[in-house]
Structure 1
Amino acid sequence: MNPRRKRRLTMVSIILVTLAAATGLVLYALSQNIDLFYTPTELVEGKGAAQVKPEVGQRLRVGGLVVPGSVERIDDGLTIAFDLIDEGPAQITVEYTGILPDLFREGQGIVAQGELISATRIRASEVLAKHDEEYMPPELAKALKGIEHVPPANRQQEESDNGSGGYQ
């Protein structure tokens, strides 16, 4: 093989190896930034046919309805804990430090993004409240199908009609 051909082959090999390494690093970085969406039931029982459960420490998003009566302030007043449910029997607890969105209410649909700290507990870094009754992410709509949600305005009317001051 002549020296000119050898240099070309070496250069092409170096370029291909560099390109493969760069592609591998980009894919690795992207996989670290993916936040998978779960419902409370999928979080507890597993997702899909393989029943894959997230690992403790994994970043994820979870969506569901805030359980009425479950919102409580912890210690400093900025840390809030509340429970989420969906159509299944599973119930998880979300801890959030910060100011909640104005539309956050008990019985309201929310999506929390954060880190799994135990099998049924999430430390949220962000909480998003649903802004109207018309739109819901397709995954959440499918997961919550069949749960009866009484908007807070209607719930107050029902409570005053039957004379009870709380939830039943």
Structure 2
Amino acid sequence: MAMHPLRKQRLIVVLFIIFGAAMAVALASFALRENINLFYSPADIAAGKAPVGASIRAGGMVLEGSVKRDTKSLRVDFIVTDYQAQLPVVYTGILPDLFDEGQGVVASGALDDSGVFQAVEVLAKHDENYMPPEVQSALDAAARFEKKTTD
């Protein structure tokens, strides 16, 4: 039994709409997956959990005495720590006003092959009472780990 021409045309339109919607969802998921910036603590990065070359965020406290400013450019080298591990960070640009040694920071960028975090953005905490949630949980985890190993 042959399909009526009007039904056949409707079926083709419906299938075309379903295929188009599926393609739109697939493209949107791919684009979102590429833009996800996962947070890693210095301990996670030292343990090899962070992907090299991928866009990630890293955070912790700026190690006292680690900030080195290049006098000829806007390059700043510093170390971020969660008191379990240390992560060398290189950033070229103007740092936030609240950036300082001993303060909490979150940096966006990528880890290079030599284990140095190449930051494209550095965010500093807002005031002495605020700590970015990712940094606070990483520091809490480090404190729990420290307490376990000393007991």
Would you call these one fold, judging by a TM-score over 0.5?
A: yes
Query: Map of 1:80-159 to 2, 5 A cutoff?
Result: 80-88=76-84, 90-118=85-113, 120-145=115-140, 146=143
Query: Map of 1:1-168 to 2, 5 A cutoff?
Result: 1-46=3-48, 53-74=49-70, 76-88=72-84, 90-118=85-113, 120-145=115-140, 146=143
Q: After superposition, what is the alpha-carbon deviation per residue over 1:39-87, rounded to whole angstroms, capped at 9, x for unaligned?
A: 11111215xxxxxx23221011111011111111247331011011103
Cα distance in 1 for residues equivalent to 2:109 and 2:103 = 19
Paired positions, count: 140
Cα distance in 1 for residues equivalent to 2:55 and 2:121 = 12
**Gapped regions of structure 1 (runs ≥ 5):** 47-52, 148-168
| One-letter amino acid of the counterpart of residue 110, structure 1 | V
**Gapped regions of structure 2 (runs ≥ 5):** 145-151
CA contact (8 A) 1:66 1:108 kept: yes
RMSD between aligned residues: 1.7
CA contact (8 A) 2:104 2:135 kept: no
Cα distance in 2 for residues equivalent to 1:109 and 1:137 = 8
CA positional deviation for 1:30: 0.8
Provide the identity percentage: 50
Cα distance in 1 for residues equivalent to 2:71 and 2:127 = 32
CA positional deviation for 1:33: 0.9
Partner of 2:147: none
| One-letter amino acid of the counterpart of residue 19, structure 1 | A
Cα distance in 2 for residues equivalent to 1:5 and 1:101 = 64
Partner of 1:158: none
